[in-house]
């Protein structure tokens, strides 16, 4: 690993100040440290966010579930507040990686990274979330901008994710048996005005499946559309046709869980 | 920080990985490096009571923490109940994965209690790879070890 200096600020303001030059924030480190070990990434300064108080809180505020950026996957999986508001989100967190990964990895790190096969981005998008940062807020619809790309500016820190509490939410994932990431993951949220559907693992970045949204908003038992896009990923793990088919199977599983 | 109950200065460069520091600077070579890519769990240690992969944690992040490695669990004369169960159930062959498996087993016992079902153990071992045993005896060892830990009064109320 290329040497770097680690800053461990105790406040958000100090973290913003510590971020200068060639720097990165460190949350759970379960994406960043492997990337640095393999030489994919090198920085001069790492700014550790773990000492900033309050960033890992999980609370409900009216029709919103607010999950702090530093909430670990294991904490979300075990939280009674999450289980009460959006139980499918607790199940999603419990299905990320393995227990050791879940004890370190955070929601903020996962969405800042925006891996095309990560789980949380699908939930954030389907649940019409608002991403709170040190500089303001982003709507989920504008936040995810392509493979590993987000609306975050250099030095901008995610502080929390505000999920809109739906009438029902489900996430179905076909996991890669070795990595546990999604070969296809479909998140479905039922709101009074309609259904939102987000898909991960299938294309180069998470996306909303608008044809499925239209079909399910009209009738939850509708016959489902086939997924047609020109950016479906094809690799040694699965061909584009297979991934598109899996997305349909996962959509069918998830929609069965959100029936009234 | 504390390692196996002894005060230690975390005098390592900021980019030093916990596993390398434990093995190379402290000579605690019971913690193994299997993959270095955060997959195999051979490097599992306890940091503030939580089992994590030491190849994916910086020493500098543990500056105020308490770390327990396989050497800190028991002694050859008085093994930790989970270690004793691995021996009794023959939960190892070459032994390379074993320190990490024992740590994972202890975490499983704490999380799921003495009557943890086999399927739960298998699911909770997703982050631990063994190339020898086929897992059968490892799962049996963790079941025995969880019961033995409860009998020894090492388990609180299951979460
Ligand atoms: C073996 C293994 C299996 C895994 N399996 C899965 C899986 O099945 N599904 C899945 O979704 N993920 C999986 N992951 C990834 C895991 O969930 C990571 O923990 C997560 O993607 C990143 O979170 P982190 O807290 O570890 O972030 P870090 O690694 O610390 O950071 C990741 C990136 O986000 C930035 N960042 C972190 N926090 C913030 C913040 N608050 N504001 C702004 N930028 C920030 C960092 O600078 C860095 O660029 C796996 C990882 C491993 C090692
Ligand atoms: S060496 Fe740490 S997980 Fe394999
Ligand atoms: S006993 Fe050899 S790797 Fe597990």
pLDDT reading at A139 higher than 50: yes
Protein residue closest via CA to atom 47 of ligand 1? A25
Superfamily of domain B81-151: [2Fe-2S]-binding domain (1.10.150.120)
pLDDT digits (tens, 9 = 90+) for B99-117: 999 999 999 999 999 999 9
Residue B157 has a pLDDT of 59
Chain A partners of B50 at a C-beta cutoff of 8 Å? 103
Residues in B whose CB is inside 8 Å of some CB of A read 13-15, 17, 36-39, 41, 44, 50-53, 55-58, 60-61, 63, 104, 107, 111, 124, 126-128, 159
Instruction: Report H helices in chain A.
Output: 12-18, 32-37, 73-78, 80-85, 87-94, 99-104, 107-113, 120-126, 140-143, 210-218, 240-257
A82 Cβ partners below 8 Å, 6+ apart? A58, A65, A67, A76, A89, A90, A93
Fold agreement between B2-72 and B81-151:
no
Q: What's the whole-model pTM score? A: 0.96
Q: How far is the CA of B158 from the centre of ligand 3 (A)?
A: 29
Determine the pLDDT at residue A177: 86
Domains of chain A, earliest start first: 1-50 (3.30.43.10), 51-164 (3.30.465.10), 168-258 (3.30.390.50)
In the predicted model, is pLDDT for residue B158 greater than 90? no
Whether the per-residue pLDDT at A113 is higher than 80: the answer is: yes
Residue A26: what pLDDT? 98
Query: How many whole angstroms from B130 Cα to the centroid of ligand 3?
Result: 5
High-pLDDT (> 70) share of chain B, %: 98
Taking CB atoms and a 6 Å cutoff, what residues make up the pocket around ligand 2? B 33-36, 38-43, 53, 55
On chain A, the residues whose CB falls within 8 A of the CB of B41 are 98, 100
Architecture field, domain B2-72: Roll (3.10)
- Cβ of residue A29 lying under 6 Å from some atom of ligand 1: yes
pLDDT by residue (tens digit) across A2-33?
A: 999 999 999 999 999 999 999 999 999 999 99
pLDDT of residue A36: 96
- The CA R_g of chain B, rounded to the nearest whole Å, is 15
Calculate the CA dihedral of residues A229, A234, A238, A240 and round it to 10 degrees: 30
Q: Supply the pLDDT for residue B159.
A: 43
The pLDDT value recorded for residue B156 is 75
For chain A, the average pLDDT equals 97
**B6: confidence class by pLDDT, cuts 50, 70, 90:** very high
Quick: pLDDT tens for A209-233: 999 999 999 999 999 999 999 999 9
Query: Mean of the per-residue pLDDT values for chain B?
Result: 96
Q: At what angle do helices B136-151 and B81-88 cross, to 10 degrees?
A: 140
Show me where the domains of chain B are located. 2-72, 81-151
- Please state, in angstroms and rounded to a whole number, the distance separating the CA atoms of residues B152 and B146: 10
Residue B11 is predicted with a pLDDT of 86
Q: Is the pLDDT of residue A180 over 90?
A: no
- Report residues whose beta carbon is within 6 angstroms of any ligand 3 atom: B 92-97, 130-133
State how far the alpha carbon of A180 is from the alpha carbons of A41, A96, A188, in Å.
Answer: 23, 7, 20
ipTM: 0.95
Q: What is the pLDDT of residue A179?
A: 84
Residue B19 has a pLDDT of 98
Ligand nearest to the CA of residue B97, numbered in listed order: 3
Distance CA B43, CA B55 (A): 6
- To the nearest whole percent, how much of chain A has pLDDT over 90? 98
* A29 min Cα distance to partner chain B (Å): 7
- Identify the three-state secondary structure at position A77: helix
User: What pLDDT digit, counting tens, does each position of B132-154 carry?
Assistant: 999 999 999 999 999 999 999 99
Out of A5, A6, A29, whose CB is closest to B57? A29
Query: Residue B64 pLDDT more than 80?
Result: yes
pLDDT one-digit tens code per residue, A62-111: 999 999 999 999 999 999 999 999 999 999 999 999 999 999 999 999 99
pLDDT over threshold 60, residue B54: yes
Q: At B97, is the pLDDT very low, low, confident or very high (cuts 50, 70, 90)? A: very high
- CB nearest B37 (choices: A34, A46, A101): A34
| % of chain A at pLDDT higher than 70 | 100
């Amino acid at each position: 690993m290329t040497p770097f200096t680690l800053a461990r600020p105790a406040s958000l303001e100090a973290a913003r100040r510590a971020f200068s030059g060639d720097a990165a924030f460190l949350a759970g480190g379960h994406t960043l440290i492997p990337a640095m070990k393999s030489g994919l990434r090198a920085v001069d300064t790492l700014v550790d966010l773990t000492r900033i108080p309050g960033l890992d809180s999980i609370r409900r505020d009216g029709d919103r579930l607010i999950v702090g950026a530093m909430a670990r996957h294991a904490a979300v999986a075990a939280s009674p507040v999450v289980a009460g508001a959006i139980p499918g989100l607790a199940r999603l967190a419990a299905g990320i990686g393995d227990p050791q990964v879940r004890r370190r990895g955070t929601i903020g790190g996962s969405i800042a990274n925006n891996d095309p096969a990560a789980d949380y981005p699908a939930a954030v998008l389907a649940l019409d979330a608002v991403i709170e940062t040190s500089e303001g807020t982003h709507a989920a619809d504008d936040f995810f901008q392509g493979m590993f790309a987000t609306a975050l500016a250099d030095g901008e820190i995610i502080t929390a994710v505000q999920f809109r509490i739906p009438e029902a939410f489900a996430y179905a994932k076909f996991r890669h048996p070795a990595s546990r990431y999604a070969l296809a993951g479909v998140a479905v949220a039922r709101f009074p005005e309609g259904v939102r559907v987000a898909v991960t693992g299938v294309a180069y970045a998470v996306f909303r499946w608008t044809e499925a949204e239209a079909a399910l908003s009209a009738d939850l038992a509708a016959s489902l559309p086939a997924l047609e896009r020109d950016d479906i990923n094809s690799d040694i793990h699965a061909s584009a046709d297979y991934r598109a088919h899996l997305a349909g199977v996962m959509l069918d599983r998830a929609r069965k869980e959100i029936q009234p | 920080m504390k390692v196996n109950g002894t005060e230690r200065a975390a005098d390592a460069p900021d980019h030093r990985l916990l596993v390398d520091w434990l093995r190379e600077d402290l000579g605690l070579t019971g913690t193994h490096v299997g993959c270095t890519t955060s997959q195999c769990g051979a490097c599992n240690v306890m940091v503030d009571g939580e089992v994590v992969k030491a190849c994916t944690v910086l020493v500098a992040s543990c500056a105020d923490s308490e770390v327990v490695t396989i050497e800190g669990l028991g002694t050859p004369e008085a093994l930790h109940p989970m270690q004793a169960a691995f021996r009794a159930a023959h939960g190892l062959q070459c032994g390379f994965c074993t320190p990490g498996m024992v740590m994972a087993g202890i975490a499983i016992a704490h999380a799921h209690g003495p009557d943890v079902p086999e399927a739960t153990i298998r699911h909770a071992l997703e982050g631990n790879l063994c190339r020898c045993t086929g897992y059968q005896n490892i799962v049996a060892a963790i079941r025995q070890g969880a019961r033995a830990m409860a009998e020894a009064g090492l388990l609180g109320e299951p979460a």
